[in-house]
Amino acid sequence: MVTRPPVIAEWLVRQTAPADMREALLGDLCEEFVLRGSPGGRRWYWKQALVSAAQWVPASLLLLLPGYLLPLWLLDRLWALLLSSIPLKEDAVRAWPMLAINLVVACLLGAAVRLPSGALVLGAAVLILAASVRLPLDYCCLFLVLPALASKWPARKVKRV
């Protein structure tokens, strides 16, 4: 008898579900999985995980775009402008925009507006988007890191009874 829900499906739910309902949802899924038993429970769990993720990811992406991409793009433009005004020696290669500072400032911006939980899944989607506009690889990796960091930020506060 299988008593453990499918690990990858559980991970998918954990990464995509809003933080304030994540544990309750995983508990509910686990409860139903045990009730249904294997293999029906496993199939059912996967279906729920996929349907739920498909529902949450687009909404989260909509929040992610103005929340991360716009500040990052603005920061990138700012550093590019500042760096372009510094004269370089002949043959010197201009250093890549200040990734670390961009990261810190973007995280602070994200924390300031309390973005909803991010996820690697969302990051991957943004990575594809970033790659499609041919951003440098290390810059694309930043998009993977940010949503993961965002998931550690406090979730929206809801009044409880």
Partner 1 sequence: MKEYLGEFEQLVMLALLRLGDSAYGMSVRREIEARTGRDIAIGAVYATLDRLEGKGMVASKTGEATEDRGGRAKRMFLPTAAGLSALQASREAVARMSQGLELEGLVW
Closest CA to 105 of 136, 81, 72, 148: 72
| Binding region for partner 1 (CB under 8 A) out of 51-59, 64-72, 107-115, 130-138 | 51-59
As measured in angstroms, the least distance from the Cβ of 51 to partner 1 is 4
As measured in angstroms, the least distance from the Cβ of 20 to partner 1 is 7
Per-residue CA distances from 30 to 6, 46, 111, 119 (Å): 10, 12, 31, 21
Closest CA to 127 of 110, 115, 144: 144
DSSP letter string over 27-78? HHHHHHHHHH-TTHHHHHHHHHHHHHHHHHHHHHHHHHIIIIIHHHHHHHHH
For partner 1, what does the binding mask look like between residues 101 and 140, x meaning CB under 8 A? Answer: ----------------------------------------
Q: Which is nearer to partner 1, 102 or 151 (CB)?
A: 151
Contacts (CB under 8 A) with partner 1, residues 7-46? 13, 17-18, 20-21, 23-32, 34-35
> What is the binding site for partner 1 (CB under 8 A)?
5, 13, 17-18, 20-21, 23-32, 34-35, 47-48, 51-53, 55-56, 158-161
